[in-house]
Structures are given as structure tokens and as C-alpha cells.
Structure 1
Amino acid sequence: MEIQEVVDAVNGKLVGNDEFFSIDGFTGNFTFLNDSHTGDIVIRHWINDIGIEMAFNKNIACLITQNPKDGAIEMAEKLNFPLIITDSIELANAFALSYTVEKFSPNSTNIVITGTNGKSTTSHLIYHILKTAGFNVFTNTDSESEFNTLIDPMVSKLIVDEVNTNGELDYLVIEVSEVQGWLGKLMKNHAALMCEALNPEVGVITNIAMDHIGLVNSIDDVFDEISTVPNAIGDGICVLNHDDDLVMKLDAKNPFYTSMSELDKLNSVYYNGNEIVYQSDVFLKRQDLPFTGNHFIQNILSAIGACISLGLDKENIIEGVKSYKALNRRFAKLNDQPLIYDDFAHNPDGIKATISETIKLLPENQTLYVVCSIRGSRGVEINQLNVEAIVESMDDNIELILSSSNDVVNDLNFVEPEEKKVFFDTLNENNVDFIHYDNLNECLSETYEKADKNDIILLIGAQGMDPAESLLKDII
């Protein structure tokens, strides 16, 4: 490949050398500056003159950036080092992903999963089913959702590492954020761009709901981002949540439907309250499922729908679902008496679904303690929507406890005064009683001491609740 092909692919401008810098050209690896070796291509959102010097000394093929600053261009010209400047760094990462798959995993069958809620559980379950069936599989889904943003070359790098370590891949299961941005700016059509780069045989769209406030400001904005995904999936099969009105407005060429109620469609799998059914054939009974909350069953349906669409044997699908263990913080049970559940509910739909499912488990005349970490440094809007979801979910048997988690979060997740204020004001306006703790450790200790052995404690929230499990081990 010539450097001009890269320039054209990312709609870029080339400064410095007009050829790859390394003597042997491009190795085929896209990576980060710190991890780079001779002949690699580095993708960075920004670079300065010091970074250009580092790239020069590492003898990499070229560097792609969206934001050259502090003399980066001048240094590239001085060192005669090839620097590609693009207005859209997502084009570079999509190109890196497409090139990597074509070069290192050309024979794999690719699956993409997007939507607002349930992506990680669905992706990880598909991965587990395929692994259980004996296939060599890669997924970018992990318990902390570190690798599913696709705003850098991490997934491209990981695919190369996986192939070099374990050999040719049979399947790629790639989770794609439905809305993505950088420094408050929306990366338009991010999900579609990444889906198209993967050329998937199957795509899953879990649901369409509000999250990522600031990047998008209305449900219509979210729909606009996801609406381009079916076209990017092209002739592949699109697994759609039939119960989501907005998902059902999507124009998919080859749809396959999932539902929590009976569907009279040939290309569908549904749950009738007791069994998962496909074409009048019972796949699994309720007692066989690894978890039985409605939103988790919807994720199971999506995963089964994807695996049916891949042509996987029924027996392999059943075995994979039965043996599945959930990701961390996906309604994970941390204790028995009192029952403590931990869930990564961090947006309105997730909050309402998780509280609704948990209260069904509550014994009569017992208390559900909802312990929620306020989302720090994410803005007033998402916290306003989250607290409204809590208000809507309140019940006579619920006690609400809030945490700012100052003792466990870094500067990037610190709860700002206005974020705390919108929580307090909304709860007070709706006459909802609550307790607030600045620190998560004290919050968990006090709640645990207060709870009866037959009560339930539900932990919800994003980064501010992530350390809860380790803290509770010491508390309990």
C-alpha cells in the first residue's frame, strides 16, 4: 500500500515526507505511539512537536492526527516525516479496522452489536456461545467497557495481537457505540461507519434510548445516528428488537426480530413468559436461563437471534446460554443476606428497567435500598434524566441513597456541584426522601448496617459505583 492510499481513505492532507518513513514501508499494524515499532502507522487525536520527534525516532511509517498543535506541522516538515492531517479521526479508525480485518482476519464471519442498552451483555453472550461451540473468536467487549468505543486503533491492535497469538479467527464479535464523540463533538454516523468497516454478516440493534447527553440532545438525534446502521449492514441480517417502537422504524433489508411476547413471524425468536421459542420450537425454558430479568432476557433473545442467523446448531446455542456467566456489574449478585445486586445502570432506561426487575424479587414488607452514584463530570442533562427515572421508579418499599463517590473517582468523574444540585432539587420537588454521602465507602457501610437480612440492596451507576464490589468485601 502506498501512503497516498491512506491519505485518500481518511480524506487527509499530507505534510512532510510524501512516502512512508520506514525503509520497508508499512507493516500493516495500526497502533498507539507508545506501543509503536518500525513500520507501524500511529493514529492520535492530537500530536505536538515532541510527539512528532518520538515518531521520527521510532521510525514508524507515518502518523495520522486530527489536531496538530504546538509546532507539530513545522517539526514534521523539518524532519521530513510524513504526517497526515484529517478533519475526521473516525475515518482513520474505520480505515484501520477495515484494513486490519481484510489483512489479518479475511475469512472470519463478523457480527456487530449496537444500541443504547444491552450491547455488552449481548456481545459477550454471543462471544461465549461461539467459544463454547469450539470456535476461535475475538470480541472487544470487556467488563469495564474499555475497548468498545472504536475512537482509537485499540481494536485493530487487539485483533492483530489475537491472530498472532491464537491463529486465524473464525468470528469477530464487535460492540459498537451507538453514539460517539470526542471533546464534546459528535462523530457523525460513527456506528454506521464502524459497521461498514467490518462488513458484518449479522448486525444486532438492541434498542434506541437517551444517553450521551451533549453529543446528542434528543431521542430524534439518537435515532438519526442509529438509522444509518441497517444500510451499513447491507445484505447482512439485522437482528431487531420488535418491542422497541423506534427500532421498528428502521429500514433493514434482511430483518430478524426478537420479542418478549409471541410473534407470528417466520424470522423471529420470542419469549412467551415461560419459554424461548423459534419457529414453534422451544429453545430454552425459563429455569434454564442464566438470569431472568426482562431486560436480560431481551439480551438473550438478541444473542440467540444472532446465532440462529449465523446458522449455528441449536444444541450449541442452548449449551452456550445455559453455561453463561454475566459480565461484572451486569446485575451481579454480590451477597445473599441481605441480597446485594450490582448493575451498570447509568442512563434512564437502564435505571428504570433494573429497579423494576429488582423490586419483583423483594419479599413482602421488606425494603429495597437503591444506592445510586451520581454521574460525575457528565453534565446536568444526563443527571436530570437519571434522577427523573429514579423518581418514576420510586415505590413505598424503596429507600434511596445517593453517593458522590469522592473517595474513589478521579478528576474525570468528579461530581460537580450543579450535577449534585439537579439530583437534590428534582427529588425535593417530587417529595422523594433520600440520604446523600460524599464518599462511597461510608455510603455502602451505613447501608449494609441498616439493611435487614431479608432486604435487598441494589447498586446502580457508572464510574462512581465501579469500586463497590471490592469495598463491600471488606465491609461484609
Structure 2
Amino acid sequence: MNIQELANSINGQIKGADEFFTDFTGRFLFLNNADNGDIVIRHWINDKGVEMAASKNISCLITQNPKDGALEKAEEINFPLIVVDKIELASAYALKHAISNFSPDSKNVIITGTNGKSTTSHLIYHIIDNAGFRVLTNTDSESEFNTLIDPMVANMVASEVIEKGPLDYLVIEVSEVQGWLGNLMKNHAYLMADAVSANVGVITNIAMDHIGLVNSIDEVFNEIQAVPNAIKDSLILNHDDELVMRIDSSKNNFYCSMNKLDDSKNNIYYDDGVVYDGEVILRPEELPFNSYHFIQNILSAVGACIALGIDIEDIREGVKSYKSLNRRFSRISEDPLIFDDFAHNPDGIKATIKESLKLVPEGKTLHVACAIRGSRGVDINKLNAEALVESFNDNIELYLSSSIDVVDNLNVVIDEEREIFFEVLNRNNIGFKHFDNLVDTLETVCREASEGDVILLIGAQGMDPAEGFLKDII
């Protein structure tokens, strides 16, 4: 590959030098940890960044936004800088290149959808790892590495193989909708799935999130429906989701359902246990959790592993030994009984509250502490408040947190977000207590919960540090 071939592949224009500064190592990285011969992808770069890249003997810089003299500096020092219209094309190329060169023989699976991606991905990873294979996943508890905003996943693949040797499997979580600075990265899920060259794909569900990048459920559907075109062999579909079932796919489809399906070999359903090919392969007491939406994740993970060719007994043992990600309906205290969940969109909120209510003894109360989503816009907070209204009953006490004591500048709750939350709840006569600080929210909830009550913590970044605070409170 020469620099012109690279530029053509990512629809970029070469500025400065028209050849690589030094021989390319094959690795796409970030500026801080890049070294001699690597290529750096950055959403923006300035003249100081170009100088730093040159001083580190980096092979080439790729950016969408050259600013503050970056172009002039590249020309001045004769340094190769490629400017692209869409950074996601560069990151997708980097991912495809990393897999082709560092993990060409692995079987790969991608998981996308609005809810359940991280749990499903992590469960698939655990099953494969528990079976003794070499496997890598990009999933973490906060789902930070499932995008094409930067070359993170490409870097993860290359680094893992260089440090520990060849991989048998890649399990890649893919954000169904993604954007940067309020602009949609159109076809993000397809681009990332295609770059992974996945043998198997999983679509968990289609629901509203990422308001502003997309503004209707049809737009979410449009972002996901092309994913099957990037899958080589099998697709795992949630049979219970009407929009997922609208996806047109000619792949070898596996269907997963919480309702009994026929016993064809490609159906996995829950009927007093996980059923595959007409047989119960996992009994209810063998499952790591028994809430509705998490069992759906188990079904999808089982389907993906079957499609990948993992032995059924290995799948059983992997599911039975699984420990969930942080903040996935995690029980973080026994006295008082506290559950913590990353529920941060309407479907997640409703599902989590529904499952929590099942755990509340008769005559006792569910105390719900919810972090308002900061800097995510009025629309998603309106929908989240409406989800709380829909879930509310006389056995629930509601507490809201703006979490200004814990969030960074990217997650600050602005006045309009707080006000729409209040307006929806007040209009529906839902009582609540609001606190600026997360620590005050948690102290109040724990003080007001009586013996036998259940506490549920929900929300994204504004609720993330809660478990740490609670160690000093309870």
C-alpha cells in the first residue's frame, strides 16, 4: 500500500508530502501512543499536533478537521497529512486493515441494537473464553469502544495479537447509531460490521436512543437494516421485536424469543428454560439472572455461539459461570437491597423498573434514584421522564439527580433538560425529590428506605460513581 492508495480508499486528499514519512508498521493508533512508522487518525489536528507527529516519525496523519495552521505546517515540514470528509471511513479502513493483517483467520461476530449489546457481547466473549479459545472483545461496562469515531478497536486488535498471539475469535460490539458533535455518522453500524468481516451478526432490538442524531424510530431502523449485508454467514434476530423482524435478510437466520417457537434447529426460545432443537439446554436455576430482558440477551448469545460452532456443552458451562458487567442490574448491597442498572433510555428504564417491582415484598416500596442525562438534549430526557411515568405506581418513590458533583463537562445537565424532566412528571402528578449532587441523592434514598424496601439506581454517566459513594453511606 502507498499513500495514494490509502487516500483513495478513504476518500481523502493528501496535503504536505505525497509519500509516507517513514515506512508504515501496519498499525493505526492515537497520537499519544503512536511511534515510528504508525499512522494516526484524529478527528481534528492543529499545527502543534502535526509537529508532534513528525517528531515521533509517524508515517502519516489522517484527520477530518485540520485547524490552527495544520495544513500550512504540513506543507512547511513536508509531512504527509490526509484530509477526509468522513473520519469514520478512515477508522473503518483501519479496523479492516488490522483484522486482515493481525487476525486474518479468526471467526468474527458483531452485536448491535439499541439495548443489550454490551451484556450479549460480554456473554458471548465469556462463553468462548471459558471454552478455552483465544478471544478478544471491545465491550466494557460503559460501551465506550464500540464506534468508528477513532481507531480504538483497530488498535485493540493489533495490540492483543502482538502481545499475546493469534486470536480464534473476535466479538465486536457495534453502536447502532453514532455521531460526532451532533452530526450523524450515516450507516455507522454497517460500516463497522463490514470492516469486521463478521461471520455472525446479532441484532438485539430497535428502540429510541441517541435523540438528535436520529429523531424517529424509522431513522433508527434505517441505520440498522443494512447490517445483514455485511454479515457473511448467520444472523441472530430477536423474534419478539417487531422492527427487527422487518429486517430483510437472506442469511442463515437464527430466531430468539421469550415465547415458544417451533422446534426447528435455528430457533432458540425460553419455555421453562432455554430450548434449542427441541431440548432444554439450560434450566432456569442455571441462568446467571432471570429478568426478562437479560434472558433475551442469553438467548441471543446462545444463538451466536451455536452459529459460530461452539459445542453445546461449552455454551452451557459458559452461561452457568457468567458474571455480569458492572451496572447491569447488579446487586450492590443486601441491606438495604440495592440494584444498579445502566438503564438510560426509555425501553431500558421500563424494563428495569418492571423487573425490580417483582422483587419488592408486598407492602414495601421501590425507591428509584434516576440520574438525568446531561448534555444529551431535551428530547431524550422527555422520553425518559415519560418512561418513568409509564412505569410508576403507588409502590414507587422517585428521586432525581443532576449529579453535578461527579460528571465532567460533557455530561452536565443543562436547565432545559432538567426542566423538561420536571414538567413531564408534574403534568402527570408524579411526586419526586430532586438533588443537584449525587451524594445527596444517595444519602436521602438510603435514609428514607425502610427495612424490606428495595432501592434501584438507574441512569448513565450521572449514576456511574454511585457504588463507590454507597460504601461510605451504608
The TM-score, its normalising length taken from structure 2, stands at 0.99
Partner Cα distance (1:339, 1:253) in 2 = 47
Q: How far is the alpha carbon of 1:322 from its aligned partner?
A: 0.4
Partner Cα distance (1:353, 1:467) in 2 = 22
Q: 1:148 aligns with which of 125, 143, 146?
A: 146
Q: Deviations over 1:47-100 (max 9, x none)?
A: 111111111111111000001111111111111111101101000000000000
> SS at 1:391's partner residue?
helix
Q: Within 5 Å, give how 1:366-385 maps onto structure 2.
A: 366-385=364-383
Q: Quick check: 1:74 aligned with 2:72?
A: yes
Q: Within 5 Å, give how 1:21-170 maps onto structure 2.
A: 21-22=21-22, 25-170=23-168
Q: 1:466 aligns with which of 464, 467, 470?
A: 464
| Residue aligning to 1:237 | 234
Q: How far is the alpha carbon of 1:253 from its aligned partner?
A: 1.8
Q: 1:354 aligns with which of 352, 360, 368?
A: 352
Q: Deviations over 1:127-169 (max 9, x none)?
A: 0000000001100001122212231011111111111121100
Partner Cα distance (1:207, 1:241) in 2 = 6
Q: How far is the alpha carbon of 1:407 from its aligned partner?
A: 1.0
Instruction: Check the 8 A contact 1:362/1:455 in 2, yes or no.
Output: yes
> SS at 2:177's partner residue?
coil
Partner Cα distance (1:106, 1:230) in 2 = 21
Partner Cα distance (2:433, 2:86) in 1 = 45
Q: How far is the alpha carbon of 1:339 from its aligned partner?
A: 1.1
Structure 1 window deviating more from structure 2 (287-296 vs 410-419): it is 410-419
Structure 1 window deviating more from structure 2 (92-101 vs 54-63): it is 54-63
Q: What root-mean-square deviation, in Å, do the aligned CA atoms of Structure 1 and Structure 2 show?
A: 0.8
Greater than 6 Å deviation, 4+ residue runs: none
Q: How far is the alpha carbon of 1:383 from its aligned partner?
A: 0.2
State the AA in 1 paired with 2:14.
Answer: L
Q: How far is the alpha carbon of 1:236 from its aligned partner?
A: 1.8
Q: Within 5 Å, give how 1:154-233 maps onto structure 2.
A: 154-233=152-231
Q: Within 5 Å, give how 1:341-420 maps onto structure 2.
A: 341-420=339-418
Partner Cα distance (2:310, 2:375) in 1 = 43
| Residue aligning to 1:270 | 269
Q: How far is the alpha carbon of 1:331 from its aligned partner?
A: 0.3
| Residue aligning to 1:248 | 245
Instruction: Check the 8 A contact 1:340/1:459 in 2, yes or no.
Output: yes
Q: Which runs of 5+ in 2 are unaligned?
A: none
Aligned residue pairs, count? 472
Instruction: Check the 8 A contact 1:150/1:176 in 2, yes or no.
Output: no
Partner Cα distance (1:453, 1:412) in 2 = 38
Q: How far is the alpha carbon of 1:337 from its aligned partner?
A: 2.1
Partner Cα distance (2:61, 2:403) in 1 = 39
> SS at 1:188's partner residue?
coil
> SS at 1:238's partner residue?
strand
State the AA in 2 paired with 1:368.
Answer: L
Q: Deviations over 1:169-189 (max 9, x none)?
A: 000000000000000000000
State the AA in 1 paired with 2:319.
Answer: V
> SS at 1:321's partner residue?
helix
Partner Cα distance (1:55, 1:337) in 2 = 54
Percent of aligned pairs with the same amino acid: 65
Partner Cα distance (1:107, 1:371) in 2 = 47
Partner Cα distance (1:435, 1:82) in 2 = 56
Instruction: Check the 8 A contact 1:205/1:240 in 2, yes or no.
Output: yes
Partner Cα distance (2:148, 2:64) in 1 = 15
Q: Which runs of 5+ in 1 are unaligned?
A: none
Partner Cα distance (1:243, 1:129) in 2 = 24
